[in-house]
Amino acid sequence: MLKYLTDLIEKAKGQAKKRLAVAACQDEEVLKAVHEAALSGIVEPILIGDIEKTQVIAKELGISIEAYEKIDVKNLADAAKTAVKHVSSGKADFIMKGLIDTSILLKEVLNKEYGLRTDSLLSHVMIYEVPTYHKFVLLTDGGMNLEPNLEEKVKIAKNVVRVCKALGYDMIKIAAIAAKEKVNPKMIATVHADELKKMCNDGLFEAGVVIDGPLALDLAVSKEAAKIKGYDSQVAGDADVLLVPNIETGNGIGKSLTYFANSQSAGIIMGAKVPIVLVSRADSHEAKLYSIALGSMISELN
């Protein structure tokens, strides 16, 4: 099982090189990450955006982008449209967000005429390498869906299962997070978690997927806490995935892992026909590089 984010790069190197369409490529950290991914043999970049500005950035960084395909598009919406059309026409394998608002890119992704929408739901998946945890922890959804209903949480769970499959997991342990372990009709998170567990037990998800819930965060990640509270399950203390009830919970857990626990991370949007690399402007180019490697691994499943 992969344990370090650097392992993503090594695994992606062993696959066929993927064509990455970068929407609004005139961003320093994005360009640096894309260049490193290209040097590592993971991707063939297709730089879409203001090429003059991109060349200035490349010169400042001391890197050469001459070998990369470049499409000069000044308008941000047009850059997003061009990137999406490259994927829908088979000219690119996946997409990365550059210096562009997320809403602009996703509007083109969801365009009925040429977009990449499916019958699934777009959801955000983060992978964290946490110094105090014994393996990766995946977090979903702290970036896209505000208050998902039960049907939406099923789709979010299926999206994260796909990410885990790309990582090579045979068994996927998902903790449906809530504030307590007992089902309380006044706490919808506990009700949804219990339903997800029942659906999993009834075979809604593929073989190897185990969902337990409702689980408080301590039970999901600490065997000691589970032992003290007398809670016995395959997931308790060994969760691969934290499936959160709403965006505030996911955002809070994720940023706590980053800023309090010094965790490294990679992020991806799932639910479209291809993975979409979408990370925060505040993320380092290393985080962006790991996310590119993750996108490459997922696109291998397409």
* Closest residue by Cα to residue 245 from 199, 180, 178, 181: 178
pLDDT in the model for residue 102: 92
Q: What angle do CA 294, 121, 235 make, to 5 degrees?
A: 65
Are the beta carbons of 271 and 155 closer than 8 angstroms? yes
Question: Which uninterrupted H or E stretch holds 78?
Answer: helix 76-88
The predicted pLDDT at position 109 comes to 95
Q: Which helix or strand (DSSP H or E) is residue 76 part of? A: helix 76-88
What is the mean pLDDT, run by run of 10 residues, along the chain of 302 residues?
90 93 95 95 97 97 96 97 96 96 94 92 96 96 95 98 95 97 96 98 95 97 95 96 97 95 95 91 83 95 78
What phi, psi does 192 have (nearest 5°)?
A: -60, -45
User: What pLDDT is recorded for position 301?
Assistant: 85
pLDDT for the residue 56: 97
The contacts of residue 77 (CB under 8 Å, 6+ apart) are 104, 107, 108
Give the closest residue to 141 by CA, choosing from 295, 37, 43, 269: 269
